[in-house]
Structure 1
Amino acid sequence: MEHQSYAYGKNHWTLEPDLPHVLSHFWRGWRAHETELQRFGALAGGEAYRVADHVDKEARPVLVMHDLEGRRMDRVRLSPAQESLNRQLAAINRAPYQGGSWHLHFAQGFLLADPGLYCIQTITNATVYAIHKYAPQFAPWKEELLQGKAFGATWMTEVQGGSDLGANKVRAVPDGAVWRLYGDKYFSSGAGLTDYAIVSARPEGAPPGPKGVALFLVPRLDSNGTLNYRVRRLKDKLATRAVPSGEVDFDHTEAYLIGKPEEGIYYILETLTLSRLANAVGALGLARKAQLEALFRAHSRVAFGQKLVEHPLIRRDLTDLAVRIAGGLALTFRAVAAWEEAWLEAPPYSPRYHYARLLAHLAKARTAEHGTYCTQLGMELFGGVGFVEDFAIARLAREALITPIWEGPANVQALDTLEVLFRKGAAEPFVEEFAPRLEAVGTEEAHRARSALQDTLAGLRALSPQEAQWQAKDALRTLADAATVALLYDLGGERYAQLAALYARHFLQKEEYPSWAMREKAVWSLLDVPV
């Protein structure tokens, strides 16, 4: 791996310029965990980076369908290195349920970043979340999941529905103290690895549409110890090869109802909000890794008689990477802070919860765009070899492609954003939080950001529902960018004021970055290397 990556073997926490500042702003107790983050940064840049590359190129999960006696077992065989690492990584899920903070979980997710390795932990986390809040009678299973002795999953997607949960057809039939599920799930992350999955299904007699969908807890083995469902096959994927994903068949499958059946759609949306935050930090973590690879490359490679980093065009691209990642981190951890305040709420929710949903949508959609762009730009900065699988940068760009799709593509985020803005009343607290902050800053860029925020919301209000939907994706992007400018200014100091101004000019005013940035090494370089 040391011959394929510049960033391998380096502590990714030690190299991190923005996360400590972001955590200081949103999480007062973060310094008590600095040693833990330091250790995790070494793991993320070392063993985890190496194992992820090894799995991607040489050791993908393999479905083993039968045991020695010919019985169906439907279990995946993993690389021993990945098995060991999966158990280590389970620790990142514990903090929120053991008196700690969601900030720690998501900070570690950002440092890890690898979508396959992190996905295994995020779908396990969603299973823990559902048990913790709505099925406490299964606390022993929750403890297995938190200890890394078992893994969870969220199985909602059906081939005819995709992101449309109202189209779900898996049936749930009561059978004494349990339920029986019938049907199949088309894209099931963790298939063959999962011990306990949360599954969406429609109880017999439930109304059509999303409000007729309930949430169930499904163990891999039923109460008699026999296989409870079958994995039809694993799917070949362009990226995220470390997490096995496949098709799952339910036939008389033993399941346990989570909470109230009529509230199932709300529980599902809660776990989706949680997963969207994970998607955001994963996208940004990939972007940071690509930035590190590109930075080390720019300091090492000579072209046209001087190091790449000495060329203004290269500095311009490094500026773009720095602006996008710092802005995305500020927005995402503001969303994490809102989630931390609201996550224990249950239906019916308060305005605080709907506001947390809004920020999660903005963060997920915008960081997915930043993540894919940054990894592709990092690959371009390598030149022709950036497209060769020999080097780590190519895998990062491939992995980032999934982040705009998982947990709902931009179209779904835009629809949900319209709902929480106007039907759930989140527009008012959004304006109340960000407009005065931007006004108080007083710069031209802050003024433009405030105007963009207010004009966008006013424009959406004036449209018919169909016209608002037509413009929703661009509106989501503008609202996210305006909030990002305010949040960068909030971080304080000259560097973040510069980053805020650069972000506003490029993404809200649609201008090229001003040339003064090429001389500001503090803006675009994370490395203490003279240039």
Structure 2
Amino acid sequence: MATHEVTNQAPPLENYNLFESDPALMEAVEREGARWHLAALSRDGTQLGKPETLALASAANRHEPELFTFSPRGERIDAIEFHPSWHQLLTLLRAEGLHALPFEQPQPGAMPARCAGYFLHAQLESGSLCPLTMTFASIPVLQREPALYAALRDQLLSREHDPRDIPLAQKRSMMVGMGMTEKQGGSDVRSNQTRAFAVEGEGRGAAYRLVGHKWFFSAPQCDAHLVLARSGMERPPRSLRSLPPEGASQHAWGGPARAETHEGLSCFFVPRFAPDGTKNPVQIQRLKDKLGNRSNASSEVEFLDAYGVMIGDEGRGVPTIIEMANYTRLDCVIGSAALMRAALVQAIHHARHRAAFGKKLVEQPLMRNVLADLALESEAATVLFMRLARAYDSDPAAAMPEDRAWRRIVTPAAKFWICKRTLEFTGEAMEVWGGNGYVEEGPMARFYREAPVNSIWEGSGNVMCLDVLRAIERDPEGAQALLAAWLADAQGHPALRAALERLAGSLAAAPDALEAGARRIAQQLVLAAQAVLLLRHAPAPVADAFIATRLADGAASAAQCGRVYGTLPASFDHAAIVARAFAA
């Protein structure tokens, strides 16, 4: 009684090497000093392309984490249960050292090596990256606290994933999260109301008790979090405090704090378990019901006299934790570039197997135009994050002005632009699949739901663009060195030189106009950076097509916002651009 047979459906994209099928990434790994890591990336690329590995991503997002607030006996446990696929993904990530590679194996090219590996895994699944990237970003902050870091070092650097919810001293490895956002503040962390009260001693390295809340507490199952709280306050009324947990020692929890005069935000290391082995009273109120990133748990929590240790100088919590945020912002750029790459290869694969109106989709000129335009955007994002990775490869205090500018000025601009472009990119790639792309059985819908998160987390678009202006103001020498180097590359390329002159003109505006135009400036900055990098390193057809369609019209801002993918001039070799992006 069969009424039809299945024909003209693209087979699943599997059994391919994610690394060796990406020439732009392979070239960048060698160029940015990580040639020594090629074999490991190739091995990992093969593993990630296997059907059983790809299936983990789907399973982890179908079976979302579940919160168990109480034990069957009524004890407060705040336990989170994850599907086994989640732990398998973290096992893969950790085994490749993506949580600590530059700190575990410090050598030239370590950051580009780690970022390339992160890019490969981010093409598979996004939610599992959250606790891993926060753990990675916490290490340089914790290294500034020698005694604390010495106690945590082996567990931080361990390549084993230990999912057990037990006191840290009993674990083989650890994960670190962060807690900054509160209801009333969002990105304005200086309005945070969580309070910290000294227990014994005060200031850096002293124990405190935290009272307050966090509206977004990322990965609450982590073994510790770095948290911002307002220190130097008098003891709160008894009604605002919980009793010490049953069995907690008086020494661990201490007595009333002394009043102090300083009331700035400080940074605290808050473990999941208190020093006496009891569960630290960081109570999970609920897990967030998110649009995407569903495999990962995000939560709202209350601190009810939670134990924490101050790290960094008192009142300097924002500068202390912003170092962590700079690393997580770089990972946002990489994660969004990876979503572009994942959606692109799926679109090209589909177009090579699906036929319409008598021809394969990839053979049709308009579809080739769309795919080639997407390929340009993806390669530009790849060369950008790999260049940023090299800027993070050295001590910022000893970095040359240009490298310093790449790290401090271009990172927030890239975080704004690449993350923003990923939303439109994944939607266009989904459309290549047609109706098949819109259903949850394939990966395209998941890519699309994941796309907005990196624009929002770790600083929204406006925050990033204002940070670009702040960074330029604080480091004019670095900004000038960056523009001078780019102008040298622009000799003989009128469109690029004109774009750089427009950027310089935008930066010369009055203060109010600067702030109002911050998004335009960040966009101009990133497009110029990408054009320079493609001009230096990509084949001429790729660089020329990117510059012609992103910069050459003399009004890049308006043109880029108004254009859609698939509007490349017919004079460019669309087929060659697609073939470079993902070989058949």
TM-score (norm. length: structure 1): 0.90
Displacement after TM superposition at 1:5 (Å): 7.4
CA distance in 1, matches of 2:546, 2:581: 18
Instruction: After TM superposition, list the pairs within 5 Å mapping 1:336-415 onto structure 2.
Output: 336-343=389-396, 353=404, 355-415=406-466
1:231-284 per-position Cα deviation (integer Å, ceiling 9, x unaligned): 111011110012100011111111011121243221221111101110011001
Instruction: After TM superposition, list the pairs within 5 Å mapping 1:422-433 onto structure 2.
Output: 422-425=473-476, 426-433=478-485
Change (3 A) 1:10 1:185: same
Instruction: Tell me the residue number matched to 1:459.
Output: 506
Letter paired with 1:449: L
CA distance in 1, matches of 2:174, 2:504: 45
Instruction: Tell me the residue number matched to 1:77.
Output: 81
Displacement after TM superposition at 1:355 (Å): 4.8
- The partner residue of 1:256 within 309, 330, 336 is 309
Displacement after TM superposition at 1:54 (Å): 0.8
TM-score (norm. length: structure 2): 0.82
Whether the 8 Å contact between 2:93 and 2:121 is mirrored in structure 1 is no
Question: Does structure 1 residue 156 correspond to structure 2 residue 180?
Answer: yes
Question: Does structure 1 residue 166 correspond to structure 2 residue 218?
Answer: no
- The partner residue of 2:18 within 2, 7, 12 is 12
Whether the 8 Å contact between 2:137 and 2:327 is mirrored in structure 1 is yes
For the pair shown, the structure with the greater C-alpha radius of gyration is 2
CA distance in 2, matches of 1:524, 1:365: 29
- The partner residue of 2:287 within 234, 246, 261 is 234
Partner-residue secondary structure (3-state), 1:396: helix
CA distance in 1, matches of 2:58, 2:11: 10
CA distance in 2, matches of 1:216, 1:387: 43
Whether the 8 Å contact between 1:5 and 1:392 is mirrored in structure 2 is no
Displacement after TM superposition at 1:217 (Å): 0.5
Question: Does structure 1 residue 499 correspond to structure 2 residue 542?
Answer: yes
Instruction: After TM superposition, list the pairs within 5 Å mapping 1:25-174 onto structure 2.
Output: 25-27=31-33, 30-46=34-50, 47-57=52-62, 59-90=63-94, 91-100=97-106, 101-113=110-122, 114-147=125-158, 148=161, 149-174=173-198
Letter paired with 2:18: H
Change (3 A) 1:422 1:450: farther
- The partner residue of 1:224 within 256, 276, 283 is 276
Instruction: Tell me the residue number matched to 1:275.
Output: 328
Whether the 8 Å contact between 2:57 and 2:85 is mirrored in structure 1 is no
Displacement after TM superposition at 1:72 (Å): 1.5
- The partner residue of 2:358 within 299, 302, 305 is 305
Letter paired with 2:178: T
Change (3 A) 1:248 1:368: same
Whether the 8 Å contact between 2:227 and 2:269 is mirrored in structure 1 is yes
Letter paired with 1:94: A
Letter paired with 1:138: Y
Whether the 8 Å contact between 2:195 and 2:233 is mirrored in structure 1 is no
Displacement after TM superposition at 1:488 (Å): 0.8
Change (3 A) 1:482 1:417: same
CA distance in 2, matches of 1:5, 1:112: 22
1:27-55 per-position Cα deviation (integer Å, ceiling 9, x unaligned): 2xx22211210122133333553212112
Partner-residue secondary structure (3-state), 1:116: coil
Instruction: Tell me the residue number matched to 1:175.
Output: 199
- The partner residue of 1:447 within 494, 512, 522 is 494
Whether the 8 Å contact between 1:26 and 1:333 is mirrored in structure 2 is yes
CA distance in 1, matches of 2:10, 2:140: 38
Displacement after TM superposition at 1:394 (Å): 1.2
Instruction: Tell me the residue number matched to 2:468.
Output: 417
Change (3 A) 1:233 1:377: same
Letter paired with 2:111: W
Whether the 8 Å contact between 2:372 and 2:574 is mirrored in structure 1 is no
Partner-residue secondary structure (3-state), 1:515: coil
CA distance in 2, matches of 1:459, 1:218: 44
- The partner residue of 2:519 within 447, 469, 473 is 473
CA distance in 2, matches of 1:186, 1:342: 34
Displacement after TM superposition at 1:141 (Å): 2.4
Whether the 8 Å contact between 1:342 and 1:353 is mirrored in structure 2 is no
CA distance in 1, matches of 2:574, 2:294: 40
Change (3 A) 1:401 1:9: farther
Partner-residue secondary structure (3-state), 1:368: helix
Displacement after TM superposition at 1:318 (Å): 0.8
1:70-99 per-position Cα deviation (integer Å, ceiling 9, x unaligned): 321212111122223313312212211123
Letter paired with 2:105: G
Letter paired with 1:105: R
Q: Which structure has greater helix proportion? A: 1
Displacement after TM superposition at 1:18 (Å): 0.8
Letter paired with 2:499: A
Whether the 8 Å contact between 1:52 and 1:117 is mirrored in structure 2 is no
1:121-169 per-position Cα deviation (integer Å, ceiling 9, x unaligned): 1012122332123454233324223323322101111111111121111
Letter paired with 1:13: F
Single out whichever of 266-275 and 146-155 deviates more from structure 2.
Answer: 146-155
Change (3 A) 1:138 1:329: same
Single out whichever of 376-385 and 89-98 deviates more from structure 2.
Answer: 89-98
Letter paired with 1:416: D
CA-atom RMSD in angstroms: 2.4
**Contiguous gaps of at least 5 residues in structure 1:** none
CA distance in 2, matches of 1:66, 1:344: 48
Instruction: After TM superposition, list the pairs within 5 Å mapping 1:315-354 onto structure 2.
Output: 315-343=368-396, 353=404
Change (3 A) 1:225 1:435: same
Letter paired with 2:541: Q
Whether the 8 Å contact between 2:233 and 2:263 is mirrored in structure 1 is no
Change (3 A) 1:136 1:108: farther
Single out whichever of 171-180 and 291-300 deviates more from structure 2.
Answer: 171-180
Displacement after TM superposition at 1:476 (Å): 0.6
Q: Number of residues paired by the alignment?
A: 509
Displacement after TM superposition at 1:477 (Å): 0.4
Instruction: Tell me the residue number matched to 1:513.
Output: 568
